[in-house]
């Protein structure tokens, strides 16, 4: 005889498929009159009879008072199975409730949560419907054919849910007062108050639809460890916007991949003569000091302090990082074709800080062997000097002359 289990019984075909549309007909005992059944334990909301299996072969929970007969048929009303005289458990509980005061045997459990013993103040084994309470000392693990409970020295019996279905892990938790009723037909104890703190699914059955949390939170969610796991709030806040957390990144191999620190450092370390990397543009002070080997000079920086004028009176001024050398040249005013010895002043286009040497030569329009003329320099300073023409006393000068000069300094 198959035991029909409630709530949420599921029936399958001989091939293992869902028994869609199967019907559980519930009759008053000994008749073919449909019994009154309800969708809630308080039995205030009637539900349809027969109970029809949904698209997954599941039957909705229902409740009744007294005893009933049940007949299971397929969707075409072919009888699959039947059972008679099924007693509701509410009646058995009511037998021990007197004027609102519950007087039940009570004792503390011992054992490991799967094999349980308890000593109760009873002198004989329980009869059908006998109720009692034990205080659990451990969680049940949901192992097959467990938990088993032995009261005093009487037979050890399975603990099941109402209707005979197996307990799942944590239906019993440590410290919980377990309300149990002996079910003679199954020779087992029915747990009337499985722990309600958990969504008790054993992991083998899938959810059949969405869970409407009605704006409530899911709490005490264990941290996810694999790709299909949900993550909890702590995991999210640990890695979102937290600059103190580092992420391990594999070595990038494609253009759209992130690069790790080792790859980044290889390309962004200090550049040297043999290693590609990054180097800063030098400051003016670093360029002028000429000692740093970890910065680079741009073309603009390289011209820092360099100037030139390539005119008849011109100069080349090298930057201080090249020693600050200055070369200047020019030509003086034209002196007449006679034996006078005039003087003239020269002002440097670029003022020297230090002047080393200056030179002067005589320029004539054409060579003349009868001309014995030269120029002298004097009063050399950082800003200029003076030139004086000298004519030999034995010469009768007949050419126009001009001095040309050259100066070196820094």
CATH number for the domain spanning 27: value is 2.170.14.10
Got the DSSP string for 235-284? HHHHHSS-TT-----PPP-STTS---HHHHHHHHSB--SSS--B-EEPPH
C-alpha to C-alpha distance for 32 and 50, rounded to whole angstroms = 12
User: What range defines the domain where residue 237 resides?
Assistant: 218-278
Name 306's Cβ contacts closer than 8 Å, sequence gap at least 6: 317, 318, 319
Q: Is residue 233 part of a domain?
A: yes
The pLDDT, as a whole number, for residue 379 is 94
| Residues 53-60, mean pLDDT to the nearest whole number | 78
CA–CA distances in Å: residue 53 to residues 11, 35, 48, 200: 8, 18, 12, 22
Give yes or no for residue 390 having a pLDDT over 60. Answer: yes
Q: Is residue 335 part of a domain?
A: yes
Same domain? 64 vs 130: no
Same domain? 403 vs 314: yes
C-alpha to C-alpha distance for 94 and 130, rounded to whole angstroms = 11
Give yes or no for residue 317 having a pLDDT over 70. Answer: yes
Strand (E) positions, 136-260?
148-151, 156-161, 177-183, 188-191
C-alpha to C-alpha distance for 382 and 51, rounded to whole angstroms = 118
Same domain? 71 vs 122: no
Name 309's Cβ contacts closer than 8 Å, sequence gap at least 6: 315, 349
Q: Is residue 285 part of a domain?
A: no
Last residue of a domain, one of 132, 156, 191: 191
**CATH code of 401's domain:** 2.60.40.3940
| Residues 260-281, mean pLDDT to the nearest whole number | 82
The pLDDT, as a whole number, for residue 152 is 95
Give yes or no for residue 246 having a pLDDT over 90. Answer: no
241 dihedral zone (left: phi>0; alpha: psi -120 to 50; beta) = left
Q: Provide the domain count of the chain.
A: 4
Same domain? 327 vs 350: yes
Same domain? 316 vs 401: yes
Q: Is residue 7 part of a domain?
A: no
Cα–chain-centroid distance for residue 134? 47
Same domain? 110 vs 186: yes
Same domain? 73 vs 144: no
Q: Is residue 300 part of a domain?
A: no
Got the DSSP string for 343-359? EEEEE-SS--SSEEEEE
The pLDDT, as a whole number, for residue 206 is 54
| Residues 210-238, mean pLDDT to the nearest whole number | 81
Same domain? 101 vs 145: yes
Give yes or no for residue 17 having a pLDDT over 60. Answer: no
Three-class SS of residue 133? strand
Same domain? 232 vs 157: no
Task: List b or e across 150-188, with b for residues whose CB sees 16 or more CB atoms inside 10 angstroms.
Answer: ebeeeeebbbbbbbbebbbbbbbbeebebbbbbbeeeeb
Answer yes or no: are the C-beta atoms of 386 and 346 closer than 8 Å: yes
Same domain? 32 vs 101: no
φ, ψ for residue 360 (rounded to 5)?
Answer: -140, 145
The pLDDT, as a whole number, for residue 369 is 67
| Residues 219-243, mean pLDDT to the nearest whole number | 80
The pLDDT, as a whole number, for residue 325 is 93
Q: Is residue 326 part of a domain?
A: yes
Q: Is residue 352 part of a domain?
A: yes
The pLDDT, as a whole number, for residue 8 is 47
Same domain? 274 vs 329: no
Q: Is residue 343 part of a domain?
A: yes
C-alpha to C-alpha distance for 114 and 138, rounded to whole angstroms = 9
Same domain? 267 vs 350: no
Q: Which residue has the tokens 């062997």?
A: 369
Three-class SS of residue 118? strand
Instruction: Please tell me the pTM assigned to this model.
Output: 0.36
Give 167-207 pLDDT, tens digit per residue. Answer: 999 989 988 889 999 999 999 999 998 875 444 444 554 55
The pLDDT, as a whole number, for residue 104 is 83
Give yes or no for residue 400 having a pLDDT over 50. Answer: yes
Last residue of a domain, one of 174, 191, 208: 191
């Amino acid at each position: 005889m198959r035991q029909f289990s409630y709530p949420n019984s599921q029936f399958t075909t001989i091939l293992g498929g869902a028994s869609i549309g199967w019907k559980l007909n519930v009759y008053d005992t000994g008749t073919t009159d449909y019994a009154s059944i309800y969708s809630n334990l308080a039995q205030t909301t009637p539900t349809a009879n027969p109970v029809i299996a949904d698209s997954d072969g599941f039957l909705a929970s229902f409740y009744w008072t007294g005893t009933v007969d049940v007949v299971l048929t397929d969707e075409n009303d072919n009888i699959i199975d039947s059972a008679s005289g099924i007693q509701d458990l509410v009646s058995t509980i009511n037998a021990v409730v007197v004027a609102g005061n519950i007087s039940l045997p009570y004792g503390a459990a011992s054992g490991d949560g799967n094999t349980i013993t308890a000593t109760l103040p009873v002198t004989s084994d329980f009869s059908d419907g006998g109720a009692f309470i034990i205080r659990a000392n451990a969680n049940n693990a949901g192992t097959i054919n467990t938990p088993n409970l032995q009261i005093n020295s009487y037979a050890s019996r399975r603990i099941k849910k109402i209707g005979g279905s197996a307990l799942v892990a944590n239906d019993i938790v440590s410290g919980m007062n377990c309300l149990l009723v002996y079910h003679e037909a199954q020779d087992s104890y029915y747990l009337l108050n499985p722990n309600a703190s958990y969504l008790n699914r054993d992991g083998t059955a899938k959810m059949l639809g969405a869970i409407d949390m009605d704006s409530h939170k899911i709490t005490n969610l264990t941290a996810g460890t694999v790709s299909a796991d949900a993550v909890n709030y702590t995991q999210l806040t640990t890695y979102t916007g937290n600059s103190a957390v580092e992420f391990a990144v594999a070595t990038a191999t494609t253009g759209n991949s992130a690069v790790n620190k080792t790859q980044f450092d290889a390309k962004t370390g200090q550049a040297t003569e043999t290693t590609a990397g990054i180097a800063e543009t030098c400051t003016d002070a670093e360029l002028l000091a000429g000692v740093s080997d970890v910065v680079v000079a741009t073309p603009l920086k390289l011209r820092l302090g360099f100037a030139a004028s390539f005119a008849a009176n011109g100069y080349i001024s090298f930057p201080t990082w090249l020693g600050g050398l200055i070369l200047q040249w020019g030509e003086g005013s034209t002196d007449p074709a006679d034996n006078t010895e005039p003087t003239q002043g020269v002002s440097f286009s670029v003022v020297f800080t230090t002047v080393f040497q200056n030179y002067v030569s005589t320029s004539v329009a054409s060579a003349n062997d009868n001309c014995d003329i030269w120029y002298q320099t004097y009063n050399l300073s950082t800003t200029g000097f003076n030139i004086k023409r000298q004519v030999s006393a034995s010469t009768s000068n007949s050419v126009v002359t001009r001095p040309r000069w050259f100066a070196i300094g820094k």
